[in-house]
Amino acid sequence: MAEKENKVSFMEKLSTQIIDKRNAFFLVYTILVIFCVFSKSWVSVNNDITTYLPETTQTRQGLTIMEEEFITYGTAKVMVSNITYDRALSIKEDLEKIEGISRIEFDETIDHYKLASALFSISFKGEDKDEITQNAMKDVLAYLDNYDYYVSSTITEDSVASLESEIKLVLVVAIFIILGVLLFTSKTYMEIPVLVLTFGVAAILNMGTHFLYGEISFISNSIAVVLQLALAIDYAIILCHRFTEEREHLPAREAAIKALSKAIPEISSSSLTTISGLMALMFMQFKLGFDMGLVLIKALLFSLLIVFTLMPGLLMVFSNSMDKTVHKNFVPSITNWGKFVVKTRYIIPPLFVVIVVGALYLSNQTHYVYGYSTLTTVKQNETQIAKKKIEETFGSNNLLAIMVPSGNYELEGKLLKDYEKLKVTDSAIGLANTKVDERYYVTDKLNPRQFAELIDIDIEISKLLYQAYAIEQGTYSKLVNGLDEYDVPLIDIFIFLYNQKEAGYYNLDEELENKMNDLYEKLCEGKAQLESDKYSRLLLNLNMPEEGEEAFSWLDKFHTIADKYYDEVHFAGATTSDNDLGAFFAKDNLIISILSGLFVMIILLFTFKSAGVPVLLVLTIQGSIWINFSFPVIQDTNIFFMSYLVVTSIQMGATIDYAIVITSRYMELKKFMPINKAMIQSLNQAFPTIITSGTILASAGILIGRITSDYAISSIGTCLGRGTIISLILVMGVLPQTLLFGDKIIEKTAFVLKRRGIITLHRGNLKMNGRLQGYISGYVDAEIKGTIKGEVKGIVEMGSVTTDNKELEMREEVVD
């Protein structure tokens, strides 16, 4: 009976289908790429990270009320340097003539004129994006074109466009670095176009499908493509190297099938480490983590899909060219480094433990911040430069908005007076303390005589007006008891008077009508900004930092004062936002630490089937993170809190990936050779993969940190670049000694107990009948049972090895 043919595995069947249907995949991906080139523009980008705060936070509630209840007119701070005070007055007068500007604050005080520089606080008649505001801002800039000026305003700020141009530059530079790294680590020149096409398609598909989420954050939108490149390029490298190895003895089709069937499990397990770290982000209460995790996981999944379904076909297409462009190996052997690692295995681990303890202490002293006020970037855009110049000359401004129930101007006035008494308050603004003239505030209650004197009308006309107002309000008792003592808030009676005039019930002379129109416009503008049907808005200009213990302590005092007058109070501002973000940071940090550690332990346990391996690897992985975040303490710099959360997840995923590469090779090789030699060989084999992936990720992080001007993104890039370099050093320089030092722990905690075996080496014409765990070098004429001409080295677990000739070389070595 003929021998049964070998069963084809599921992976080989799947790989065969993918290879044979490659033209269909080419067509599908061509259509998808064309679609995604257009759909990229459909993505809605959110520039405000406070929108990701839970609805229960005071910041989110306050901002929602302001968005729904109030109009916020556009404003701009414009500093003109190297001018006299008289010239500054002339500029103010000219600017006030521009249509769309409602008022300009400027006087001789040091708040507006200092060191030959004038600061104009401009208010516009529309909101930031209104056409009237945009046109007015353009006219202001055109007028100042010949002056040395700086503008700080959200009207002119286009952070999205600025960030997009910076990320494009990052991507261009990163591509050149990646091409250089790939050229260095490649085996054939024409594998580089395959890798570039593979990543290009994956990146375009990821960017073109962001619109499916409806909206993504500006942070995710900016760094996703760069991190996708850095994190996922090694998937393509693994498959490419597998193909070139198989191509040495197989035709292109069979080599591609074999390579893909082997690469799918290897790449899938490798990707789990990074994806698990990103999944931890998605459990954050601060939903920006969910947004970033979702976008980056999608990026990795697209990369996996393209590597598994498109790249094999590309390898087939380029196979002939790859064969013709094979070059010598540029990656040097690191055997000497491996020998050094072995010699220092009793020195480095104890020293590393001491360093880790110190790093743990220092990293706990890191000063995390939740706003941008104390952060700096290597590169600064025009808006940042202007803001810095203005703050250096005139100081910074911290604005806090407070929303209270409307309808009681007396309480508002008392609250504003309490706030004005505080040493950190430069000014407190609300309708209740806004003056019409030297005598009255807009919320003061006036009787008919007082109102008549204010706007210079006849007392009888004023009484008729109050009478009509009482009828409209339904306060008929005032008509019976007399109008002389009928007090009505000035703003209410004035707006009623204006509406009666507009309805045609009476006429005024031209001078009085102009005066009334001007006053009405100012009152309506103030009312729209400071009062709605439900809430009144109070604005505090504060001379204190935006965040920190002092700022948050004062915020508590503001709450305490407001609670004396109102049961419902809402706050919004930079200090409130930073306070909320800080409150969530501690919880989210704990969540990410627990979940990341849990995911890592599960992956390592199932990968190595030993309880000792996760302990040894996690020490290295966590140590790299602690060391990374010790540097800000040593450098006395602040770190944006999201940098820690994001970089911790990504660095943990990348570091464990590198660690698995070395550990898995070591665990396999030590079965057939002494552990010292196994580690040296493992480092040599793992070095090309680790140095390729690590160099790309580190380069991407450093480029993001140095080329982007956004504080959050730059901080993430800087920490990621530094962290990846630290991870590379620890994985190549500490992890090997740790594994050697703890080898007995690994063996004793293995799920499957390994019996002591004897490695034997046989050379000659051999007869094999049994089960071998080891290596066969030479011509093989069977699976296991048959004739072997060459060398057999390994543990003979079943059966025997005999020789046909008298010259048999045999060497034994006992291993654990």
CATH number of 123's domain: 3.30.70.100
In sequence order, the 6+-apart residues with CB closer than 8 A to the CB of 809 are: 761, 762, 763, 764
Q: What is the pLDDT of residues 113-151, one digit of tens each?
A: 998 999 999 999 888 888 999 999 999 999 999 999 999
- Domain end: 98, 124, 153, which one? 153
Flag whether 252 is in a domain: no
Structural Rg of the chain based on CA atoms: 36
* pLDDT band at residue 305 using 50, 70 and 90 as cut-offs: very high
Average pLDDT over residues 540-545: 90
Q: What is the mean pLDDT of the chain?
A: 84
- Asked if residue 762 lies in contact with residue 801, where contact means CB atoms within 8 angstroms, the answer is yes
Q: For residue 535, what are its two tokens?
A: 């809430």
- The least confident of 378-387, 592-601, 715-724 is 592-601
pLDDT at residue 295, rounded to an integer: 92
Greatest mean pLDDT range, 288-292, 321-325, 363-367, 558-562 = 558-562
Contact 403, 537 (CB under 8 A): yes
- Look at residue 816 and give its three-state secondary structure: coil
- Contact between residue 301 and residue 651 where contact means Cβ atoms under 8 Å apart: no
Other beta carbons within 10 Å of 163 = 22
At residue 558 the predicted structure's pLDDT band, cuts being 50, 70 and 90, is very high
Per-residue confidence band for 421, with pLDDT thresholds at 50, 70 and 90: very high
C-beta separation of 678 from 669 below 8 A: yes
Does pLDDT of 560 surpass 90?
yes
- Cβ-count burial of 509 within 10 angstroms (0-12 exposed, 13-18 middle, 19+ buried)? exposed
**What is the rounded distance in angstroms from the CA atom of residue 345 to the CA atom of residue 323?**
42
Find the domain containing 104 and state its range. 75-153
Instruction: Inform me whether the pLDDT recorded for 573 exceeds 80.
Output: yes
105 falls within a domain: yes
How far is residue 152's CA from residue 26's CA, in Å, rounded to a whole number?
Answer: 50
Q: Which of 181, 200, 182 is nearest to 191 (CA)?
A: 182
pLDDT, tens digit (0-9, with 9 covering 90-100), for 341-361: 889 888 888 899 999 999 999
Helix, strand, or coil (residue 119)? strand
State the pLDDT at residue 346.
86
Task: List the end-to-end C-alpha distance of the chain, in Å, as a whole number.
Answer: 42
* pLDDT over 90 (residue 160): no
Distance, CA of 405 to CA of 566 (rounded, Å):
8
What tokens were used for 573? 């501002």
Token representation of residue 140:
């202001």
* Contact partners, residue 504, CB within 8 Å, separation at least 6: none
Residue 789 confidence (pLDDT) above 70: no
Angle at the Cα of 448 (from 446 to 450), degrees rounded to 5?
55
Burial pattern 667-689, b for ≥16 Cβ within 10 A else e, equals bebbebbebbebbbbbbbebbbb
Q: How confident is the model at residue 38 (pLDDT cuts 50, 70, 90)?
A: very high
Last residue of a domain, one of 153, 178, 205: 153
- Per-residue pLDDT, 301: 92
DSSP string, 446-495: E-HHHHHHHHT--HHHHHHHHHHHHHHHT-THHHHH-STT--EEHHHHHH
Closest C-alpha among 788, 815, 813, 816 to residue 800 = 788
Say how many C-beta atoms besides its own lie within 10 A of residue 576's C-beta.
28
Helices (H), 742-793: 743-748
- pLDDT for residue 809 is more than 60: no
> Do the Cβ atoms of 662 and 690 come closer than 8 Å?
yes
Q: Is the pLDDT score of 73 beyond 80?
A: yes
45 forms beta bridges with: 216
pLDDT at 605: 81
Q: What is the sign of the dihedral through the CA atoms of 90, 91, 96 and 102?
A: negative
- Identify the domain boundary among 516, 540, 574: 574
Dump pLDDT digits (tens) for 237-257. 888 878 888 888 889 999 999
In the chain, the number of structural domains is 3
- Cα dihedral 713/716/717/723 (nearest 10): 180
Task: Find out whether 785 and 769 touch, Cβ atoms under 8 Å.
Answer: yes
- Cβ–Cβ under 8 Å, residues 257 and 587: no
Looking at the chain, the whole-number percentage of residues with pLDDT higher than 70 is: 90
What is the structure's pLDDT at 778?
60
**Which pLDDT band holds residue 771 (cuts at 50, 70, 90)?**
low
Res 776: pLDDT: 62
Is-contact 133 74, C-beta < 8 A?
A: yes
Identity of residue 437? D
> Taking the model in full, what pTM does it have?
0.79
Residue 145 lies in a domain: yes
Q: Are 565 and 411 in contact (CB under 8 A)?
A: yes
Separation between Cα atoms, residue 813 and residue 698, nearest integer Å: 42
Task: State whether residue 780 is helix, strand or coil.
Answer: strand
Lowest mean pLDDT among 406-420, 606-620, 714-728: 606-620
Evaluate whether residue 786 is within a structural domain.
yes
Q: Are strands 757-781 and 786-803 parallel, antiparallel or unpaired?
A: antiparallel
Residues 6+ positions from 638 with CB-CB distance below 8 Å: 367, 368, 369, 374, 375, 632
Q: What does the alpha-carbon distance between residue 734 and residue 59 come to, in Å, rounded to a whole number?
A: 45
Is residue 755's pLDDT more than 50?
no
Beta-carbon contacts of residue 572 (< 8 Å; ≥ 6 apart): 58, 59, 62, 63, 65, 66, 400, 401, 403
Structure tokens at 788: 């072997």
Residue 724 lies in a domain: no
Residue 413 above 80 pLDDT?
yes
Residue-wise pLDDT tens digits, 446-480: 888 888 888 777 888 888 888 888 888 877 777 76
Please name the amino acid found at residue 86: D
Nearest Cα neighbor of 537 from 429, 675, 679, 699 is 429
Indicate whether 511 pLDDT > 80: no
Asked if residue 293 belongs to a domain, the reply is: no
Most confident of 91-105, 160-174, 322-336, 372-386: 91-105
Q: Judge whether 205 lies within some domain.
A: no
What does the chain come to in residues? 816
Q: Is residue 797 part of a domain?
A: yes
Token pair recorded at residue 792: 């057999």
Query: Residue 741: pLDDT band by 50, 70, 90 thresholds?
Result: confident
Choose the weakest-confidence range: 207-211, 362-366, 423-427, 794-798: 794-798
- For the cut 70, the answer to whether the pLDDT of residue 763 exceeds it is no
- Of residues 5 and 260, which shows the higher confidence score? 260
What's the longest Cα–Cα distance across the chain?
136
Half-sphere exposure of 767 (CA within 13 A, CB side): 6
pLDDT value at position 811? Answer: 44
